[in-house]
Amino acid sequence: MHTTPRYALIALVAALAAAVLLACSSSSAGPKGAVATLDEAMARGQYGVGVTTLELVDTSRGIEPNGDYAGAGERKLVTLVWYPTGALAGEPEVKDAPAAQGDGPYPLIVFAHGFSSLARLSASYGQHLASHGYVVAAPDFPESHLGTPGGPRLGAVTNQPADVSFVIDSLIDFSEEEGHLLEGAVDGEAIGVTGHSLGGLTTLLTIYGDSRDERVDAALPIAAPGCFLTDETIGDIDVPLLALGGSEDQLVRPSTVRQPYDVANQPRYYVDLIGANHIQFADIDADDSIAAAAVGSRPPEEGADGEGEEGDGGFNSQGCEEDPLGVDPVLDGERQRELLRTYAIAFFDAYLRDSDDAKSLLQDTLATSIDEAQVEFDAD
């Protein structure tokens, strides 16, 4: 009987092992979980979604008096956190489910809600990102949320970038805390920020200007008033940016939603959803008259006459507003939110996971094949 020499068996085993490794690496074109096709971006991801509520207290900063509210010496941020959990978890979310183990840590995205809104009103957005392998932290800002003592204030936006930074600090700390629900879940080297309306402005203020948080690696402002941004404001900052809005927005001019794109350094993207309004980026199917009423019912603010509030660096928080018309949106609300989620997951996979597949999806299919979207970009 013929016997194979020992060295030949070793060589054969090594060759087979190399072939297996090559096959495994070639079968996955990008990081685990990164989207490569339109269908993948639109669909929920491979993970179930857990959700928990955290009460974060920043004792280093206070809240100023507001109407009949006397103020406070600390800032309390009730924060919803959506995160990946086991694939068999129920939908759309499971309260306090254990975080999925083995694939983490996951990129962190902070979501900033709009004026007189709540984080919960954008749950479908947070859930979608979490199902694709992101930890999404969404605070209710103490001076601009729906139940703000004394009433929400537009000018409070200048305090919110520091709130975002505090949330980032807190989530990283929890990830390093033994026994915490989020232990090992947060990748402090892959951080994104996104937000709707006033939260979109918060997003911009978190990456540009004196309140910049240099840990943020990608930003997606939604229907954000960005008219204050200039080439001088941007300087040499090159945080990847996707500015997204709707052509039928009756609260924020499409031109000012586009402004951050016009002055940003590459990589930069601008997405105009044709027929989309302002409010339906949140989980609300309505015309913009509801949001207009929320803005119109705010109490008068000192310095709101175009010179900016005292202490806000001269920025007039009302300066980018459009007189609301409240016309019916052309685009169905669920479709509007579906498109938001689709562009967002491709963008964050491209720049928080460094996925070439996601970049190709963003720059090819999503730039040319969505009838309801006009897309411009400048990226290497």
Give the structural domain span for 249.
32-378
Outline where DSSP puts E strands in the chain: 48-58, 75-85, 94-95, 106-112, 135-140, 186-196, 218-222, 241-246, 268-273, 373-378
| Class of residue 91 by CB neighbours under 10 A (exposed 0-12, middle 13-18, buried 19+) | exposed
pLDDT tens-digit map of 300-351? 454 333 333 433 333 344 456 555 455 567 899 999 999 999 999 999 999 9
Q: How many whole angstroms separate alpha carbon 51 and alpha carbon 133?
A: 13
pLDDT at 252: 93
Structure tokens at 335: 């479709």
299 pLDDT exceeds 90? no
Whole-structure pTM value: 0.86
Per the domain annotation, does 6 fall within a domain? no
Residue type, 319: G
* Domains contained in the chain, number: 1
Per the domain annotation, does 26 fall within a domain? no
**Under 8 Å between Cβ of 219 and 240:** yes
Q: How far is CA 291 from the centre of its chain?
A: 20
Report which secondary-structure segment, H or E, holds 255.
Answer: helix 254-263
pLDDT tens-digit map of 34-88? 999 999 999 999 999 999 999 999 999 999 999 999 999 999 999 999 999 986 7
Q: How many whole angstroms separate alpha carbon 238 and alpha carbon 216?
A: 11
pLDDT tens-digit map of 231-277? 999 999 999 999 999 999 999 999 999 999 999 999 999 999 999 99
Per the domain annotation, does 91 fall within a domain? yes
Distances (CA, A) of 315 to 176, 240, 322, 379: 38, 24, 16, 30
pLDDT at 291: 73
Per the domain annotation, does 11 fall within a domain? no
Task: Assign 156 to helix, strand or coil.
Answer: helix
Per the domain annotation, does 208 fall within a domain? yes
pLDDT at 308: 39
Percent of the chain clearing pLDDT 90 (strictly above):
77
Per the domain annotation, does 17 fall within a domain? no
Per the domain annotation, does 10 fall within a domain? no
In sequence order, which ranges of 78-152 are alpha helices (DSSP H)?
A: 123-131
pLDDT at 297: 54
| Class of residue 9 by CB neighbours under 10 A (exposed 0-12, middle 13-18, buried 19+) | exposed
**Under 8 Å between Cβ of 223 and 200:** yes
For strand 94-95 and strand 135-140, is the pairing parallel, antiparallel, or unpaired? Answer: unpaired
Q: What is the CATH number of the domain that holds 183?
A: 3.40.50.1820
Q: What letter does residue 228 receive in the DSSP assignment?
A: T
Per the domain annotation, does 13 fall within a domain? no
Q: Which residue has the higher pLDDT, 114 or 91?
A: 114
